[in-house]
C-alpha cells in the first residue's frame, strides 16, 4: 500500500462537472488500496475574479488583506470535493493550510514555507480518511493567512508529500507531461517518461508552465518523486526524479523557447571599473531580473553593454537605464523587443562534449544569427531574432535526435 499525494489544478476543478470527474478519479485510486491526500487549487478564473474585486477597491491593495481574500478560492473547491466524495461513500475531509500546519514566513502574496507539521493529516490518514487540502495557502507565526504565489498549490503538494514521506506526488494538469519541445511548434515533440529535477528546474525557469519552479526545487531538496500527468486523459505522464543512467544516455532532453525577454543595449559606455555596478545596481534594486549580459571588446576606451530583461519590466528598466546612461555619459540606449531565447536542456551534456558547437552549427546552417549566449552545466541558451524561434526550435529538435526516430544525426 502506497501513500500518494495528488494535486489537481484550477482547470481540473473549474466546474461542478469537473470536480465530479476528480472525485471519481480519487475514488478509483482509493478503491485501488492506496492512501491518498488530495491538494486542490481554486476554480480556474476565481483568483483573477477576486484580484479584480481588490483592484476595484484600490489600485494598491494591502498584501495581508489580499491573502485573506485570495485564500478563499481553495476553501471553496476543497469543501465541494469533500462533499462530493462523502456523497460517494468515501470518508473525505477538507483541511485549510492552517489546519494542515503549513507554516510560512510573513512575505504576504509570496510567502515561503518554513515548515509543515501535518499532524491533522497524519491523524486523518490513520483513521482511513482522505484529506482534501487547500493548496496555495499557509499561516505565519502570528496565525495570519499567507499565500505562496502563483502556482503555489504545486508547492503545497510537494511540501506535504515530503512531510508525510509519501511514495509519490502526482500533479494532475491539463497537459500530458513534459515534452521534448512545445508541441504547438514542433508537431513531432515527444512526452518524456522521465526527467531529472535539474532539467525540470531549467525548463521551468525557461518558461515551461508545467510545474512551478519552487516546487521543483523543494522536490529536489527532499527527494520527492513527482509525476506530471493529465487529469482528463488516461495514460502515463512524466516522472521528475533524481538523475539516472537512462537520462544520461541522451545528450539533450528538450528544446525550449522563451519570447518574454527584451534586449537593452547601452552604446558607447566609457570602459572604466565600477561601470557595471552603476548600471545593474539600480536594476536589481527595482526587482528586475537580468538574464544575460554581454559586453563588446573595448575600442578607444568605449564599449557597448547589452542585456536582457523580462518584456513586462522593459518600461521600468528603460526608465532607470536612461538615467544611468546620462550619468555615466554613454552615447545612447537602444532596445530590441523582437528577440527570443532558444535553449537546449539535458543532464547528458555533462558527459557529452561538443553540444554547444553543434548547436551553433545548426543555427548557422539555418541562417539564424546568434546575439547572445549563456551556458550552465546542463543548459545552453542563445538569444536570436524572434522571427526565427520556430525554425530554430524545429531544427534543433531534429538535429539532437528528439524527433522520435531515436537516431542522433
Which spans of this chain sit near a second copy (rule: CB under 8 A)?
16, 19-20, 50, 53-54, 56-58, 60-62, 64-66, 68-69, 71-72, 75-76, 78-80, 82-84, 86-87, 93-94, 96, 98-99, 143-145
Nearer to a second copy, 16 or 312 (CB): 16
Pick the closest to residue 265 from 337, 327, 206, 316 (CA basis): 337
Give min distance, CB of 30 to a second copy, in A: 17
Pick the closest to residue 291 from 387, 393, 204, 381 (CA basis): 381
* CA–CA distance, 266 with 333 (Å, rounded to integer): 4
Give min distance, CB of 363 to a second copy, in A: 50
Per-residue cell: 402: 528528439
Give min distance, CB of 135 to a second copy, in A: 15
Strand partners, 145: 139
Strand partners, 6: 38, 170
Nearer to a second copy, 20 or 316 (CB): 20
Nearer to a second copy, 16 or 284 (CB): 16
Query: Among the residues of 286-354, which ranges form H helices?
Result: 314-327
Q: Measured in whole angstroms, how far is the alpha carbon of residue 81 from the centre of its chain? A: 26
Nearer to a second copy, 42 or 164 (CB): 42
Q: What is the CA radius of gyration of the chain?
A: 24
Q: Which residue has the cell 544520461?
A: 248
Nearer to a second copy, 69 or 359 (CB): 69
Nearer to a second copy, 87 or 289 (CB): 87
Q: Which DSSP letter does residue 386 get?
A: G
| 239 φ, ψ (degrees, to nearest 5) | -95, 125
Give min distance, CB of 312 to a second copy, in A: 24
Give min distance, CB of 81 to a second copy, in A: 8
CB of 48 closer than 8 Å to CB of 10: no
Nearer to a second copy, 18 or 379 (CB): 18
295-304 long-range contacts, Cβ below 8 Å, gap at least 24?
A: 298/271, 301/270, 301/271, 302/268, 302/269, 302/270, 302/271, 302/331, 303/269, 303/271, 304/265, 304/266, 304/267, 304/268, 304/269
* CA–CA distance, 160 with 167 (Å, rounded to integer): 11
Nearer to a second copy, 87 or 277 (CB): 87
Q: Which DSSP letter does residue 387 get?
A: G
Amino acid at each position: 500500500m502506497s501513500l500518494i499525494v495528488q494535486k489537481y489544478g484550477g482547470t481540473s476543478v473549474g466546474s461542478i462537472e469537473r470536480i465530479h470527474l476528480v472525485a471519481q478519479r480519487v475514488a478509483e485510486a482509493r478503491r485501488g488500496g492506496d492512501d491518498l491526500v488530495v491538494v486542490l487549487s481554486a476554480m480556474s478564473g476565481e483568483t483573477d475574479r477576486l484580484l479584480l474585486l481588490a483592484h476595484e477597491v484600490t489600485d494598491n491593495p494591502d498584501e495581508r488583506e489580499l491573502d485573506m481574500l485570495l485564500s478563499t478560492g481553495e476553501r471553496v473547491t476543497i469543501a465541494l470535493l469533500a462533499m462530493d466524495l462523502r456523497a460517494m461513500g468515501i470518508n473525505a475531509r477538507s483541511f485549510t493550510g492552517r489546519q494542515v500546519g503549513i507554516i510560512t514566513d510573513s512575505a504576504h502574496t509570496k510567502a515561503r514555507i518554513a515548515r509543515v507539521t501535518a499532524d491533522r493529516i497524519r491523524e486523518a490518514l490513520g483513521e482511513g480518511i482522505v484529506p482534501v487540502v487547500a493548496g496555495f495557502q499557509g499561516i505565519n507565526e502570528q496565525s495570519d493567512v499567507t499565500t505562496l504565489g502563483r502556482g503555489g498549490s504545486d508547492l503545497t503538494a510537494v511540501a506535504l508529500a515530503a512531510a508525510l514521506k509519501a511514495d509519490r506526488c502526482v500533479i494532475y494538469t491539463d497537459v500530458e507531461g513534459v515534452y521534448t519541445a512545445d508541441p504547438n511548434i514542433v508537431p513531432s515533440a515527444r512526452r518524456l517518461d522521465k526527467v531529472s529535477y535539474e532539467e525540470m528546474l531549467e525548463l521551468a525557469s525557461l518558461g515551461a508552465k508545467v510545474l512551478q519552479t519552487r516546487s521543483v526545487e523543494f522536490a529536489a531538496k527532499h527527494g520527492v518523486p513527482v509525476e506530471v500527468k493529465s487529469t482528463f486523459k488516461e495514460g502515463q505522464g512524466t516522472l521528475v526524479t533524481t538523475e539516472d543512467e537512462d537520462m544520461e544516455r541522451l545528450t539533450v532532453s528538450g528544446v525550449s523557447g522563451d519570447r518574454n525577454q527584451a534586449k537593452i543595449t547601452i552604446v558607447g559606455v566609457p570602459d572604466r571599473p565600477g561601470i557595471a555596478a552603476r548600471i545593474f545596481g539600480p536594476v536589481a534594486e527595482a526587482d528586475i531580473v537580468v538574464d544575460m549580459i554581454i559586453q563588446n571588446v573595448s575600442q578607444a576606451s568605449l564599449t557597448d553593454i547589452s542585456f536582457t530583461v523580462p518584456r513586462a519590466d522593459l518600461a521600468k528598466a528603460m526608465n532607470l537605464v536612461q538615467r544611468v546612461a546620462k550619468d555615466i555619459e554613454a552615447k545612447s540606449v537602444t532596445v530590441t523587443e523582437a528577440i527570443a531565447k532558444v535553449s537546449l536542456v539535458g543532464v547528458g551534456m555533462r558527459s557529452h562534449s561538443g553540444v554547444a558547437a553543434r548547436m551553433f552549427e545548426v543555427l548557422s546552417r539555418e541562417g539564424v544569427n546568434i546575439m547572445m549566449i549563456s551556458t550552465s552545466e546542463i543548459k545552453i541558451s542563445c538569444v536570436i531574432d524572434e522571427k526565427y524561434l520556430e525554425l530554430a526550435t524545429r531544427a534543433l529538435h531534429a538535429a539532437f535526435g528528439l524527433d522520435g526516430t531515436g537516431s542522433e544525426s
